[in-house]
Structure 1
């Protein structure tokens, strides 16, 4: 029997509230062992072991937590008796944690994140089925070498594409324009496509010897946005992500400020839309900015932060954004 190791971090999947209700709950009421006891048939899929590595809302997760989580997964992956790892996680920042791990975890063994939109005490709690499917995927041969994956509401999503698209319904995640890369049918994964970007063992990034990440901030553009926010954010950071309108664009007053700031720190253009692609534009030559390609702002922040551990050169950073 395959062995799957569970790393629990908290989130709604561990939450409790008024019996039967889907709102007004509190995270972290059930630990990893109590979660596993609530899932029928999961012991027939894999031998399970786990630990409560964190017990927080995903709103409170930090870059330091990401580094510690990646290091722990790397150590677990070295154990030949462990075939896969599952991380239970709050949904609000799951896409960010998944992408960070996708760039820094060094194993071909399956690493799968899941969670829930409803607490364990709800009449229609979605956590047990999501966790059952995550364990099944982590124990499967088919998931090996596909990078970090997210399983949610029967869908399998790659870490580079996954995005929370609904803050209320159980089917809360999507793969943007690209959709999911497969489905879970109870314990059986059905892959439809493969992740296209470099990940895990094929990336140039590592958390070994790293305790702190370079600070990168995000500036959200909107109509008549005050350009002074750019100076404020850039003064606190080693890099800046622009969540621009449309295809990553902004006002003339913002462009004037960006033109000055890009001489000091790298600036990446992304879109607040959440779908589509920000490719090279003449403004990148003018403003000395870097197009963020298909990455949403929060994932572009992660990539720039990791890239700054290696280089601050604009050409090198531009190549990294094209690769990842």
Structure 2
């Protein structure tokens, strides 16, 4: 029988209404009791929290737990139950460091465990089926919701309540019952080293570049201890007056700056001068490509924690982005 290892971190899939809002309270054993698949499943509970409460240290522990599980040759794949709020960050971090052929699939729920119409058991069933299937080997890390398996890179939560809340990434497969219909490919990049203890100490701030936003957010973030900055730009990657000078001063200080976009679809591409993306990149900002601001931040934190600076960091960021 195929063996899949489950790592539980909490989220809506194990949440119940306590009378003071929903909280992650259900154990992984209770979760598995509702699942009926012919797959040998072992399980660990890493933490049991809603994902907006996860820490960087816990994400590093999750990455190491996945790596340990994949070192067992009997494990065909790994499934992680996780809250949807920050799933895109965790999935991307895991994908950046994943060095094994086994698929790693994150899933969860949009409706709590105490709801009669909860989507958790079906999502978990689909994820277990997908993780066990040989067609998904060498696909890295992905997210499975409502029967669709999407690659971690470039995915983002696009709807607060919809049963299929994620957009972006590459659609890899559809799960129908015990069948996995493969219809997408991903290019696996060379894995980065696993996050170490220093990852939890890195601070990267996201600064807003909407109309009227002030460029002094960048030096303020650095003064408060930020090791790097992500600009939440507009359009294909633009910002108001003054941001170019702020980026130049930050990069002159050795503080890396990444230019992302608030737009849901499309890459960051320097198109406009007059203080726009062309000038921001010329001043030293690194385009985030197809990554969401949250995923660009995760990548920057991982690279900084590994001691990369200057051209080395720029090269590693670029090769991991595009």
Same fold (TM over 0.5): yes
8 Å CA contact 1:284–1:291 kept in 2: the answer is no
How many residues were matched structurally?
A: 312
- Give the RMSD, CA atoms, in angstroms: 2.0
- Secondary structure of 1:54's match? strand
Which residue of structure 1 aligns with residue 297 of structure 2? 301
Superposition pairs of residues 1-324 of structure 1, within 5 angstroms: 1-17=1-17, 25-39=21-35, 41-42=36-37, 44=38, 46-175=39-168, 180-198=171-189, 202-207=190-195, 212=200, 214-235=202-223, 236-264=225-253, 265-280=255-270, 282-308=278-304, 309-314=306-311, 316-318=313-315, 320-324=317-321
Distance 1:70 1:245 in 2: 32
- Shift in alpha-carbon separation, 1:15–1:272, aligned structure 2, 3 A: same
Distance 1:179 1:141 in 2: 18
- Shift in alpha-carbon separation, 1:211–1:251, aligned structure 2, 3 A: closer
- Secondary structure of 1:181's match? strand
Q: 1:295-320 deviations in whole A, cap 9, x for unaligned? A: 11110011111222142114641453
- Shift in alpha-carbon separation, 1:320–1:253, aligned structure 2, 3 A: closer
- Shift in alpha-carbon separation, 1:122–1:228, aligned structure 2, 3 A: same
8 Å CA contact 1:59–1:92 kept in 2: the answer is yes
1:125, CA displacement in angstroms?
0.6
1:174, CA displacement in angstroms?
1.7
Counting strand residues as a fraction of each chain, which structure ranks higher?
Answer: 2
- Secondary structure of 2:30's match? helix
Q: 1:195-243 deviations in whole A, cap 9, x for unaligned? A: 1352xxx223323575535321111211101222222212221111111
Distance 1:184 1:269 in 2: 36
Deviates more, 1:137-146 or 1:280-289: 280-289
Distance 1:62 1:4 in 2: 26
Distance 2:221 2:197 in 1: 27
Which residue of structure 1 aligns with residue 274 of structure 2? none
8 Å CA contact 1:174–1:180 kept in 2: the answer is no
- Per the normalisation by structure 2, the TM-score is 0.91
- Secondary structure of 1:9's match? strand
- Secondary structure of 1:84's match? strand
Q: 1:258-282 deviations in whole A, cap 9, x for unaligned? A: 2212211111111011211113453
- Shift in alpha-carbon separation, 1:316–1:52, aligned structure 2, 3 A: closer
Unaligned segments of structure 1, at least 5 residues = none
Distance 1:81 1:316 in 2: 36
1:257, CA displacement in angstroms?
2.1
1:322, CA displacement in angstroms?
4.0
- Secondary structure of 1:8's match? strand
- Secondary structure of 2:294's match? helix
Distance 1:285 1:226 in 2: 18
Distance 2:26 2:281 in 1: 52
- Secondary structure of 2:144's match? strand
Distance 2:291 2:279 in 1: 19
